[in-house]
Amino acid sequence: MHAAVLRYFREIARHGSIRRAASALHVAPSAVDRQLLKLEAELGVPVFDRLPGRMRLNRAGEILLQHVSGTLADFDRVRAEIDDLSGVKTGHVTIAAVDSLLVEFLPQALGRFRADFPAVNFTMLAVEPARIPGDVAAGRADLGLTFVSDPPAGTKFVASFAAPIGVIMAAGHPLARKRAVRFDEARSFPFLGQQGPLPKSADIDPNFAAFRDGLEPTLISNAIPVFKHVIREGWGIAFFTRFGFLREIADGELAWRPFASRRINTLKLGLIVPEARKLPSVAQSLAERLIDELKRLESTP
């Protein structure tokens, strides 16, 4: 059984570092390095390029990773089916999600799930929206939460909920007095930009994409905690769904308003699952639970 060494290899590929992979696996870096050297000796070729400060998959490693992702997914499914024979729910579920859902929604939802399935382990990964369907299709994630678009072959969206991009701002901001914000109104205030491209589904509103691209941000970051701090401090406004800021909105620290644009308000987030392979039973149970949680989240004012 090579499950352990394959997981070690997958985590090195995921994190680009033996040290970071060891931290994610909760083992010593020397153990990870030893298993990698053993794997490369068995294959007869290196699977990573050793670069200063990081490890990068070479072509042999890319071929191996494609095999490993499917092999580990199949192994987890078989192990879960064997566990079902004894009535014990164990296993591991990997979830790839847009970063805003990792702030509160997923930790809280998984906390409630663990009350019923305490022996299950999880990996929660913040992934760029456009990459998530591919990660599910390739078996790098069991479940994905991302903006709804045309899914790749072998995957499907099983649930979705409204998730428009709107304006997040300090509670006392002038735009907070409005029911909806026009693009020309938002253009008058300092803009805080999120690093990276818009989700592909934002293409449904080319006016929004053109408006955002024409702004000069006073700050760019890829970390929601940074935005929470600087927005509270009055640096400017940012454009997000509301789901990474639920607590601050409920506490009256921040305000969120939709754009006065019908098309941007049709954006949806959804739960994407593999269609071409069977999920382990515990992952299927989690998917069903997350559908209920998504319905609850959508109804949150």
Q: pLDDT tens digit string along 249-259?
A: 999 999 999 99
pTM score of the predicted model? 0.70
DSSP-derived letter for residue 130 is: G
Rounded mean pLDDT, 209-230: 92
CATH of 89-158+269-301, one of 3.50.50.60, 3.40.190.10, 2.60.40.10, 3.30.1330.60: 3.40.190.10
With 80 as the cut, is the pLDDT of residue 77 above it? Answer: no
CA–CA distance, 298 with 59 (Å, rounded to integer): 43
DSSP annotation of 298: H
Task: Please check the confidence at residue 9 and state whether its pLDDT lies above 80.
Answer: yes
pLDDT in tens, 13-71: 988 999 988 888 888 889 899 889 989 998 999 999 999 888 999 999 988 988 887 77
**Does 89-158+269-301 match 166-266 in CATH topology?**
yes
pLDDT for 295 equals: 83
* CATH 2.30.29.30 for the 166-266 domain, yes or no: no
pLDDT tens per residue across span 150-208 = 888 889 999 999 999 999 999 999 999 999 999 999 999 999 998 876 666 666 788 88
Under DSSP, the state recorded for 266 is G
CA 227 to chain centre: 18
pLDDT score, position 205? 84
CATH topology of domain 1-71: Arc Repressor Mutant, subunit A (1.10.10)
Per residue in 83-114, pLDDT (tens digit) is 665 555 677 899 999 999 999 899 999 999 98
293 touches 246 (CB < 8 A): no
pLDDT the model gives residue 3: 67
SS3 label, residue 205: coil
Q: How many CB atoms lie within 10 A of CB 12?
A: 28
Separation of alpha carbons 238 and 289, rounded Å:
31
pLDDT classification of 1: cutoffs 50, 70, 90: very low
Cα–Cα distance between 69 and 117 in angstroms, integer? Answer: 24
Going by pLDDT thresholds of 50, 70 and 90, the confidence category of residue 11 is: confident
Enumerate the domain spans of the chain. 1-71, 89-158+269-301, 166-266
Instruction: Tell me the angle at which helices 18-25 and 29-43 cross, rounded to the nearest 10 degrees.
Output: 110
